[in-house]
Structure 1
Amino acid sequence: IGGESTRPGAQGVDADEEWARVADVLKELMNWNMPLSIDTMKANVMARAVHLGVDILNDVNGFRDAGAEAVLAQSNAGAVVMHMQGEPRTMQKSPQYTNVVSEVEGFLNQRMVALEQTGVQSSRVLVDPGFGFGKTLQHNIDLLKATPLFSTLGAGVLVGVSRKRMIAELTGQADPGLRTAGSVAAATYAAQHGAAVLRVHDVRETVEALKVAFALNQ
């Protein structure tokens, strides 16, 4: 659940507005007895969500907001630590890297070390290379191919490419609703190369593809 859009070009909102958008939804979903993740970059929003009992803090900014590491460390929540170059409003204007894989790997490793120093065990953490967050198509392809490398950082790897622009650029499908086949193919590749968690829209199709792929690989 997220109260602030992080799509390319999105404008930010303050913490009170962000919380106002999600508070009632979170309170209702807490009664559904299922794991809940909040998508936020703000320590203040994280703290309120933890107080409600949210299970996972998903931060596209890698827990760099002042106080974010402490909120996580003082909770029992899991964490998704993502890499993003720049900020959502401007990140896709002209993303540049000398070596995208080594730079993203270095960032994620640094954030893992910082969290461990605050007492957050690596078993509580997933790392996310941040596909589409300050990356060109080639950057995204290089990062997806590097999934095995990211899995050596000591945390599980989360891959979320479902229906993203990279799928449109590879398949020619401008309509997000028509990107299922490409998204499933990318998710299957990620799972076969070490991804621990897949964030997808088309759950049934992805599960069926994974069942077939892993059966054939046994």
Structure 2
Amino acid sequence: MTINCKGKLLDLTNPKVMGILNLTPDSFYDGGKYKNERDILEQVEKMLSSGASFIDMGAQSTGPGAEDVSADEECKRLLPVLELVLNKFPEALVSVDTFRAFVAKEALDYGTTIINDISAGLMDDAMLDVIAEYKVPYVMMHMKGNPKTMQQNTAYEDLLQEIIYYFSERLSVARSKGISDIIIDPGFGFSKTLEQNYKLLNHLDALEIIDKPILAGVSRKSMIYKLLGTDAQNALNGITALNMIALQKGASILRVHDVREAIECIRIHEQLTA
């Protein structure tokens, strides 16, 4: 499978890593950690040199109970950092994590490569039109409701079938607008109980029927640290275990805070499947 990034085809047959750069003060793991230009550039350089294919920037926290901010505030947090990073690393493939079409458009004008939308276009009707206009790869995630209500929306008759149906419907809408470069994210931790997250991971390969690259994002999430009786800061061992399972179940992209460890996981997986 390939996606078109800045006019170049990127082959996702060999799994890739997306490094996370949170620009929010209230992220569950690293909120407020990167407060100045030096810290930001050092972290981006570390992720790129460790092997990240993408840097995913988010300026609006989407965890349960997260503070909602305006589009203007999101842009205020995001755009100066985006400009800083792309000036320093012009070849970097930057993904922007936003559900707002206005923010996506502004970010794309600055040189963003990918839009990563937790709502698959359901929280802003204009989002898919922006993606179609700019012809960039689009990550659409599965979620029911919104970040404030998602954890009250965990009832499913058939978890996997409902997720497949959700993506089939969203892909149909996207295709009608001429969008073809799509990556699906099953949304670990969004509208799912701990048990449902593990059922989804164990059957992630069922989503291969959709015939789109799969992004797995389990990094530092509560499905790991609550099960293990620890916290986000001490969840790396569990993250690595789950990343390996995701790869074995067909994930093409690992979205992580810890790039080097994810790359090592991919190298081991590739040796196992050689």
What TM-score, normalized to structure 1?
0.93
Instruction: Tell me if the contact between 1:11 and 1:88 (Cα under 8 Å) persists in the aligned partners.
Output: no
**From 180, 202, 226, the counterpart of 1:145:** 202
Output one character per residue of 1:145-196: Cα deviation in whole Å (capped at 9) or x when no partner.
Answer: 22112122121000000110001133222x2121111100100011111100
Q: Does 1:200 align with 2:256?
A: yes
Instruction: Tell me if the contact between 1:127 and 1:158 (Cα under 8 Å) persists in the aligned partners.
Output: yes
**Which residue identity lines up with residue 62 of structure 1 in the other structure?**
A
Q: Does 1:101 align with 2:157?
A: no
**Mean Cα deviation higher: 153-162 or 197-206:** 197-206
Q: In 1, Cα distance between the equivalents of 2:78 and 2:263?
A: 29
Which residue does 2:146 correspond to in 1? 87
Which residue does 1:38 correspond to in 2? 96
SS where residue 38 of structure 1 aligns? strand
Q: In 2, Cα distance between the equivalents of 1:205 and 1:185?
A: 11
SS where residue 198 of structure 1 aligns? strand
Within a 5 Å distance, the mapping from 1:1-218 to structure 2 comes to 1-31=57-87, 32-33=89-90, 34-64=92-122, 65-93=124-152, 95-121=154-180, 124-173=181-230, 175-218=231-274
What TM-score, normalized to structure 2?
0.75
SS where residue 182 of structure 1 aligns? helix
**Which residue identity lines up with residue 221 of structure 2 in the other structure?**
K
Instruction: Tell me if the contact between 2:145 and 2:153 (Cα under 8 Å) persists in the aligned partners.
Output: no
**Mean Cα deviation higher: 184-193 or 201-210:** 201-210
**Which residue identity lines up with residue 223 of structure 2 in the other structure?**
M
**How far off its partner does 1:213 sit?**
3.5
The higher relative CO (CA closer than 8 Å, separation ≥ 6) is in 2
**Mean Cα deviation higher: 202-211 or 17-26:** 202-211
Segments of 5+ residues of structure 1 without an aligned counterpart are none
Q: In 1, Cα distance between the equivalents of 2:175 and 2:262?
A: 33
| Stretches (4+) displaced over 3 A | none
**How far off its partner does 1:206 sit?**
2.4
Instruction: Tell me if the contact between 1:79 and 1:125 (Cα under 8 Å) persists in the aligned partners.
Output: yes
Instruction: Tell me if the contact between 2:64 and 2:150 (Cα under 8 Å) persists in the aligned partners.
Output: yes
SS where residue 58 of structure 2 aligns? coil
SS where residue 59 of structure 2 aligns? coil
Percent identity among equivalent residues? 37
**Which residue identity lines up with residue 71 of structure 1 in the other structure?**
V
**How far off its partner does 1:200 sit?**
1.4
Q: CA RMSD in A?
A: 1.4
Instruction: Tell me if the contact between 1:151 and 1:195 (Cα under 8 Å) persists in the aligned partners.
Output: no
